Amino acid sequence: MLEQSRRGASPRVRRRRTLVAATAGLLVIAGGGAVILGGLTGRATSGDTGPTTSAAPTETEPAITPAEPRPSPSASPDPAAAPTFDREAHSIDDPNSIWVVVDKLRPLNPTDYSPGDLVDVPVPFQNKPQLRQEASDAVVALFAAFTAETGLALQSQSAFRSFDAQTRVYNNDLVNLGQAGADLSTARPGTSEHQTGLTIDISAQPGECSLNACFADTPHGQWLAANAWRFGYLLRYPADKIPVTGYEFEPWHFRYIGIDLATEMHNTGVTTLEEFFGLPAAPSYG
């Protein structure tokens, strides 16, 4: 046996050794391929071609609730129309109306008109006054308020004048002042506001600047100019409206038109009936 080692292994043994070595080599190669193939298969399965990182767990997104439709804005109500003054509440032509407009272009109809409800006015006076009942009640309240607020007193100079009485007054002025002077200061019969029973001439008691423009500068005249509207009276012939009314300034001449109209004219700043009712100016007789 020793000799056989020296000479080398027999061919049979060498064949067996070669077969064993080849088999082992094949097994090694097959095992390595399996390892490689497993690695490739894992990567292909994961779908990654490079280094991988752990993916964060995904949270379930909340379902999106559709927004509730906004209610359409309700139509805003139309603003309430401001009440307008009814300029046709009373006639401006009827001599029995408290709004009747009498001037040099608008004579009374009939020209000898006389109110049917005249009463004696219970106020101090120079000449006993008569007015229509509504105007009388208003002027009594006016006189009382004036005294309460100022401690002074008023009196009546003149109130209702009939057609005949107005004829006498006008003719007297015609003699003393001439035609132009008479027409500027005194109405011709049939065109006088005194004939309506709605007008009163007021003076101070005791008398001061009676029937004179200086009455406007007295406490009496100033209070009347500022407050007569509260009682339904209008300063009928303002100083700056001679071209409209046709009469010189008469701070003593007050015409009853009712509280509603007097208040509206006061609030709007309109000072003559002609302008308020859109009538022609009456500087002279037509």
State the first-to-last Cα distance of the chain, in angstroms, to the nearest integer.
176
Torsions phi, psi for 125 (to 5 deg): -155, 160
Backbone φ and ψ for 120, nearest 5 degrees, come out as -70, 135
Confidence check: pLDDT of 181 > 80: yes
Of 189, 209, 211, 191, nearest to 200 by C-alpha is 211
Which residues participate in catalysis according to the annotation?
Answer: 250
Residues 75-84 pLDDT 10s: 566 667 667 9
| Average pLDDT rounded to a whole number, residues 87-92 | 97
Rounded distance between C-alpha atoms, residue 78 and residue 81, angstroms: 8
Query: Is residue 4 predicted with pLDDT exceeding 60?
Result: no
- Count the neighbouring beta carbons within 10 Å of the beta carbon of residue 271: 20
Per-residue pLDDT reduced to its tens digit, 138-176: 999 999 999 999 999 999 999 999 999 999 999 999 999
Give the chain's mean pLDDT: 84
pTM of the model: 0.73
pLDDT at 190: 97
The predicted pLDDT at position 148 comes to: 98
Cis peptide before 283 (omega within 30 of 0): no
Q: Residue 83's pLDDT is what?
A: 75
Q: How confident is the model at residue 250 (pLDDT cuts 50, 70, 90)?
A: very high
User: What's the alpha-carbon Rg for the chain, to the nearest Å?
Assistant: 58
Q: What is the pLDDT of residues 6-53, one digit of tens each?
A: 444 555 545 555 544 554 444 444 444 444 434 444 444 444 444 444
Q: Select the more confidently predicted residue: 204 or 27.
A: 204
Q: How far is CA 266 from the centre of its chain?
A: 18
- The larger pLDDT score, comparing residue 215 to residue 51, is at 215
